[in-house]
Chains A and B, each alone.
Chain A
Amino acid sequence: MSEVFSAVATAVELVVGLDPDLVEIVALSLKVSLSAVLIAAMVGLPLGAAVALVKFPGRRGAVILLNAAMGLPPVVVGLIVYLLLSRSGPLGEMGVLFTPTAMVIAQSILVMPIIAALTRQTISDLHEEYDEYLCSLGAGHLQRISTLLWDGRFRLLTGLLAGFGRASAEVGAVIIVGGNINHVTRVMTTTIALETSKGNLNLALALGIVLIILAASVNAAAVLIGDAASKRYG
């Protein structure tokens, strides 16, 4: 028991003292996950909106596919990205395997369906409610889309937060394509996995604390945004 307590105490010290190793790992984690969310948003937002608004054969299937892809197992995504990026793979030329770039790619793939599916849901709900009214005003395509995006902005933001939550908490994909190389590709989750297996609980716990705070803050932010939006705009 006392061993655990002392580990917790050391962990808190590391966090409070802004231990350089810890800071480096946390910074890389944030950099990778935020980049992944950014890229996923650039694809997912327009894709989700398009699936919501454009009628095309097989749209129902596309919706099901997007929603199913939200549950992609991270290790499998990691494996596929690994195969694509490995020296003999189709994208091996890029030489990015075991770099943060590979980790960003893998997390983007994990996050994109979440953002796209939540965007589709948001935009299609609003579209159903607003469309006839907007048509009655003689609004053009761009005006209609911008109205939907604007009125859905808080829910869309919540989708981005959900994507960030998923990216920052996953370990399976980044450990495969990043390789958990010290000072190069070590992020919070992979370090926790490694240090725990080595029996070095101090750093693992310290990172655990940071990760919990991060995840809790992201979720709290999502709730607060939702509350504020519904209070302000009904």
Chain B
Amino acid sequence: MDERGEQRPVMPLEVSDLSYVAGGKILLNKLNFRLEGGVRTVILGPNGAGKSLLLRVCHGLLQPGSGNLSWAGRTPSQAGRDLAMVFQRTVLLRRTVSDNIAHTLGIMGVARQERSSRIDTALKEAGLSDLADHPARTLSGGEQQRLSIARARVLRPRVLLLDEPTSNLDPGATAAVEAMIRAADADGTRIIMTTHDILQARRLADEVLFLHKGRLLEHTVASKFFADPDTSEARRFLLGELLE
């Protein structure tokens, strides 16, 4: 009864004049863009650019101060569980690995007898089957991140929003997380993720949104962005010279 793989219409994301102000600072400044979907989107930018904020606003966890945001004509809260979020700092419940997933299934109202098979599937995809009964918070950083992604995917979202899913991970753990992201993408779950890791963006991005100091400086296909960016900020960022 798995709906994954089944073609579901993509939900274009339409953002217009979106601003977010806090503490007297303009943290997101009049963003305008439209994401058609069907491709992997990477929001790239240095520390403090506003990547996490933008992702939260897209998910509906934060309300924009002004401007509009819609997922195929729906507000984020109307889109509900079509949107799932994986946070930059993982939030794992004080429970075992499998109970972390069981909790999400419980919130979704999945019947008890259906839960264990879905937990098994999710853990297998994350390569965590052997750790099912371990306390989630004692896992390594890479395992924790994989669990977070697996847990978000049991929501069967149409869009998976990932906030710096591999910051603080070593190359091996990063590769495992990227494999999960690719698998989700291959299953038809749309990927929108942030990173400040240029190499990761090169590996994963089909299109790039380049954010700097709350402004959207570029929105282009990845190949163009990496070969010939339009703005000097993006050029300097790609050269490793733009640090903030």
Interface residues of A (CB under 8 A from B): 129-130, 132-133, 135-139, 143, 147, 151, 229, 231-234
Q: Does B91 contact A (CB under 8 A)?
A: yes
A132 touches B61 (CB 8 A): yes
Closest to A151 in B: B94
A136 touches B84 (CB 8 A): yes
Assess the B95–A136 pair: CB atoms within 8 A: no
Contact call A138/B81, Cβ cutoff below 8 A: yes
Nearest chain A residue, comparing its CB with the CB of B93? A151
Provide a sorted-by-A list of 11 A–B residue pairs whose CB atoms are within 8 angstroms: A132-B87, A135-B61, A136-B59, A136-B61, A137-B104, A147-B93, A229-B94, A232-B135, A233-B94, A234-B94, A234-B137
User: Do B91 and A143 touch across chains, with their CB atoms under 8 A apart?
Assistant: no
Interface contact A132-B91, CB-CB below 8 Å: yes
Do residues A234 and B135 form an inter-chain contact, with CB atoms below 8 A? Answer: yes
In the A-B complex, the 8 residue pairs with the closest CB atoms: A234-B137, A133-B91, A233-B94, A234-B135, A136-B85, A151-B94, A234-B138, A139-B107
Alpha-carbon separation in the docked complex, A22 to B235 (Å): 84
Q: Give, as a whole number of angstroms, the nearest-CB distance from B160 to chain A.
A: 12
Interfacial chain B residues near A136, Cβ < 8 Å:
59, 61, 84-85, 87
State A144–B112 Cα separation when bound (angstroms): 19
User: What's the nearest-Cβ distance from chain B to residue A149, in Å?
Assistant: 12
User: By the criterion CB–CB under 8 Å, are A137 and B155 in contact?
Assistant: yes
Over the window 41-74 of chain B, the binary record of Cβ atoms lying under 8 Å from chain A Cβ atoms (1 yes, 0 no) is 0000000000000000001010000000000000
Residues of A within 8 Å of B91, CB to CB, are: 129-130, 132-133
CB of B12 within 8 Å of the partner chain = no
Q: A230 to nearest B CB, angstroms? A: 9
State A129–B61 Cα separation when bound (angstroms). 15
Find residues 109-147 in chain B having any chain A CB closer than 8 Å to their own CB.
Answer: 135-138
Residue in chain B with minimal CB distance to A234: B137
Beta-carbon nearest neighbor of A133 in chain B: B91
Bound together, the chains give a CA A130 to CA B103 distance in angstroms of 13
**A147 close to B137 (CB less than 8 A):** no
Q: How far is the CA of A147 from the CA of B155 in the complex (A)?
A: 18
Q: Is B80 positioned at the interface, with any CB of A under 8 Å from its CB?
A: yes
Q: How far is the CA of A143 from the CA of B105 in the complex (A)?
A: 12
Q: Mark B174-213, 1 if CB is under 8 A from A, else 0.
A: 0000000000000000000000000000000000000000
Tell me the complex Cα distance, A149–B138, Å.
21
Most buried by A among B84, B107, B137: B107
CB pair A133 B87 closer than 8 Å: yes
With a CB–CB cut-off of 8 A, which chain A residues contact B137?
Answer: 233-234
Q: Report chain A residues within 8 Å CB of B135.
A: 231-234
Residue with the highest number of chain B CB atoms closer than 10 Å, among A135, A137, A151, A232: A137
For residue A169, give the distance in angstroms from its CB to the closest CB of chain B: 31
Query: Which of A130, A138, A232 is in CB contact (< 8 Å) with B107?
Result: A138
Smallest CB–CB gap between B35 and chain A, Å?
20
Q: Write the nearest CB–CB distance from A227 to chain B, whole angstroms.
A: 13
**Interchain nearest-CB distance for A129 vs B (Å):** 6
Complex alpha-carbon distance, A208 and B85, angstroms: 57
Using Cβ atoms and an 8 Å threshold, which residues of chain B touch A143?
A: 106-107
Question: Once the chains are docked, how many angstroms separate the CA of A127 from the CA of B174?
Answer: 30
User: Which residues of chain B are near A129, meaning CB under 8 Å?
Assistant: 91
